[in-house]
Amino acid sequence: MRAGVLNVDKPAGMTSFSVVRRLRSLTRARRVGHAGTLDPLATGVLPILFEAATRLSEYALRLPKTYEAEVHLGACTPTDDAESEPQPVAPAGHLTADAVAAALGRFVGRIEQRPPAFSAVKVDGRRAYERARRGDLSRPAPRPVEIHSAQLLAFQPGEQPVARIRVTCSSGTYLRSLARDLGEALGVGGYLGQMSRTAYGDLRLEDAHRLDDLGDAAAVEAALLPPEVVLPADMERVRLTDEQEAAVRRGRPVRVLPEPRSQLLRAHDQRGRLIALGHADPLRRTFVPDKVLS
């Protein structure tokens, strides 16, 4: 199996790891991983990294993600989503689309967000969900996240209103927390219903592959995208000569002309294949490899 990225449309009911396990079994690839966990109830874009591309996960996680989700208002749940029983908070029949849109807009920007009690965030060395399962439903401490945009797509009024929203945000943002906090801002409580990740960087849901359509290793390999699709768009690309490539593969810096314009660089061989990630040494005008891909 060659290195690459598979854009998978994760179905509801599967964990992200179960998708990885299924594809590892199907392809017999040595290294398979995912970039950015989706909750079991969620659907949508899940990048699966194969072979050397697994080493790019830390860069992939920096990419913005876009979600479309339903927020149920007037109640809350211990898990902040529909996996647990809703508990009424306050009447919500008076809410209007304008009021919901205005409240949603206040979350755009860099904010402090408290993750759900049932989350993978570590608290005193233990996962929050482990504490929650033992009855400790206190939420982890707030942490900074960035919401680039938040839009109200539709609003269903009534005694149990539902808002459909589209959100583009940074890694680490919990839509469950946003749903909860939106409900609190409106004074009625809220929790997350259906959710789909519609974009992950340049990966789009309309281009994603359903697992049921990938019947064997050949089908998976044919659907693989180049590893660099999960790298930030502003990471400058440099082309190496054959001699430079040999040096970089041994971890040695090479002189790159003209002078690189950015600090983070990605190096490609003469055929355009991604060879390494590294940084520029502006004094020596060299590319210094930090991570060489096999």
Active site residue 39: yes
Question: In this predicted model, what pLDDT tens digit does every residue of 230-255 receive, in sequence order?
Answer: 998 888 889 999 999 999 999 999 98
Return the pLDDT at 232. Answer: 85
CATH code for the structural domain at 65-200: 3.30.2350.10
Return the pLDDT at 135. Answer: 58
HEC profile of 148-184: EEEEEEEEECCCCCEEEEEEEECCCCCHHHHHHHHHH
CATH 3.30.2350.10 fits 4-63+202-230, yes or no: yes
Q: Which of 9, 39, 81, 181 is catalytic?
A: 39
CA distances from 135 to 119, 121, 129, 237, 238 (A): 14, 16, 10, 50, 53
Q: What is the DSSP string of 166-231?
A: EEEE-TT--HHHHHHHHHHHTTS-EEEEEEEEEEETTEEGGGPEEGGG--SHHHHHHHPBPGGGGS
Q: Which fold has domain 236-292?
A: 2.30.130
Return the pLDDT at 142. Answer: 83
Residue span(s) of the chain under CATH 3.30.2350.10 come to: 4-63+202-230, 65-200
pTM above 0.75?
A: yes
Residue span(s) of the chain under CATH 2.30.130.10 come to: 236-292
- How large is the average pLDDT for residues 148-154? 98
Return the pLDDT at 247. Answer: 95
Looking at per-residue pLDDT, the higher value among 124 and 32 belongs to 32
Looking at per-residue pLDDT, the higher value among 194 and 235 belongs to 194
